[in-house]
């Protein structure tokens, strides 16, 4: 994969999957705009990459922030070739019958409105350019239900819907839009979920879940980054409107008898 001369923008680029994607794009020659609400960690990722990266602090739920990082990419690097629309939050683990309305709104705000605003402000740039590739981060929670995570599951199903609509709209202009569906990946997010499920023994939750996966382990952020880079690369030139799992076999084999 060769991203020399290309410009990549990554939201949620300060931690976890977005961090690995930012570093991966840079390693393959791209100039990178790292976007996150966490300024300290985001600046650190840009510094680790060096002069071919900038950091922009943004809350993806705010249109003005999104417009500002899009403009920063254009002002500094002149184009947006690849966009990883990735920032997301998990919300609380609680049954639908008890789920707090404010938490539901917060999850939908980041995971759905945030992804929409990214598309809303990046696609016009790509349409003007006549080229571009977008990868939206959904989840296997966008394909199947997860008990106790109604907002997260609804939000990730919505990300897949937004992906399909955008792919149909901008395909004629040579722009591809795909979604990725990670399973459990070793980042802060899954640690937070495990802590909510079992505050006294989060490691036990992770161990049991990992043991139930066909590959018997969580994925790494780098393994997800490999898929994102592939989908943004010319190697994926005929792929659009699709969703790809990277989940250690979770959705293929939901449960085993043992
Ligand atoms: P993470 O918490 O390590 O990273 C998420 C990043 O998004 C953080 O840097 C955070 O500061 C940023 N962010 C959150 N809200 C934001 C906002 N409003 N504006 C700007 N930035 C914001 O978690 P991760 O696991 O790397 O998650 C990345 C994406 O992958 C998310 O969309 C998540 O839902 C998805 N995902 C993760 C897993 C997993 O197992 N880790 C599985 C499936 C999907």
Taking residue 144's Cβ as centre, other Cβ atoms within 10 Å add up to 14
For the chain, the helix, strand and coil percentages under 3-state DSSP, each to the nearest 5: 50, 15, 35
**Which range is least confidently modeled, 11-25, 127-141, 173-187, 196-210?**
196-210
Does residue 184 have its Cβ closer than 6 Å to ligand 1? yes
Going edge to edge, which strands form the sheet with 175-182? 53-57, 31-36, 7-11, 82-85, 132-137, 175-182, 243-246
Q: What's the pLDDT at 258?
A: 62
The minimum-distance atom of ligand 1 relative to the CA of 87 is: 7
Cα 12 to the chain's mean position, in Å? 7
Distance 168 CA to ligand 1 centre (A): 26
pLDDT beyond 90 at 163: yes
Does residue 59 have its Cβ closer than 6 Å to ligand 1? yes
pTM of the model: 0.98
Tell me the pLDDT tens digit for each residue of 55-102.
999 999 999 999 999 999 999 999 999 999 999 999 999 999 999 999
Does residue 42 have its Cβ closer than 6 Å to ligand 1? no
Helix axis angle for 202-211 and 188-197, nearest 10°, is: 110
Which residues, 6+ apart, have CB-to-CB distance to 38 below 8 Å? 14, 15
Mutation test residue for ligand 1: of 37, 87, 154, the one with most atoms within 8 Å of CB: 87
Interface confidence, given as ipTM, is 0.99
Q: Where are the beta strands (DSSP E) in 60-120?
A: 82-85
User: In angstroms, rounded to a whole number, what is the distance separating the alpha carbons of residues 36 and 59?
Assistant: 7
Does residue 12 have its Cβ closer than 6 Å to ligand 1? yes
Mean pLDDT, all residues of the chain? 97
Distance 18 CA to ligand 1 centre (A): 7
Tell me the pLDDT tens digit for each residue of 95-149.
999 999 999 999 999 999 999 999 999 999 999 999 999 999 999 999 999 999 9
Q: Decide if 152 is catalytic.
A: yes
């Amino acid at each position: 994969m060769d991203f020399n001369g290309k410009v990549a923008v990554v939201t949620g680029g300060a931690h976890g999957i977005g961090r690995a994607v930012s570093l991966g794009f840079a390693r393959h020659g791209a100039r990178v705009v790292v976007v996150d609400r966490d300024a300290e960690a985001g600046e650190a990722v840009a510094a680790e990459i060096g002069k071919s990266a900038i950091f922009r602090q943004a809350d993806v739920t705010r249109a003005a922030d999104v417009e500002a990082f899009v403009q920063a990419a254009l002002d500094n690097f002149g184009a947006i070739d690849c966009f990883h629309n990735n920032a997301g939050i998990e919300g609380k683990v609680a049954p639908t019958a008890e789920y707090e309305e404010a938490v539901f709104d917060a999850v939908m705000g980041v995971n759905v409105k945030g992804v929409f605003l990214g598309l809303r402000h990046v696609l016009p740039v790509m349409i003007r350019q006549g080229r571009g590739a977008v990868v939206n981060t959904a989840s296997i929670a966008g394909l199947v239900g997860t008990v106790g995570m109604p907002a997260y599951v609804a939000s990730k199903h919505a990300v897949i819907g937004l992906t399909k609509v955008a792919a149909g709209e901008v395909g004629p202009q040579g722009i591809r839009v795909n979604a990725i569906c990670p399973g459990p990946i070793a980042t802060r997010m899954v640690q937070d979920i495990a802590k909510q499920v079992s505050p006294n023994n989060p490691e036990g939750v992770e161990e049991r879940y990992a043991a139930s996966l066909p590959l018997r382990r969580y994925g790494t952020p780098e393994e997800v980054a490999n898929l994102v880079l592939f989908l943004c690369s010319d190697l994926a030139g005929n792929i659009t409107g699709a969703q790809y799992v990277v989940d250690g076999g979770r959705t293929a084999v939901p449960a085993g008898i043992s």
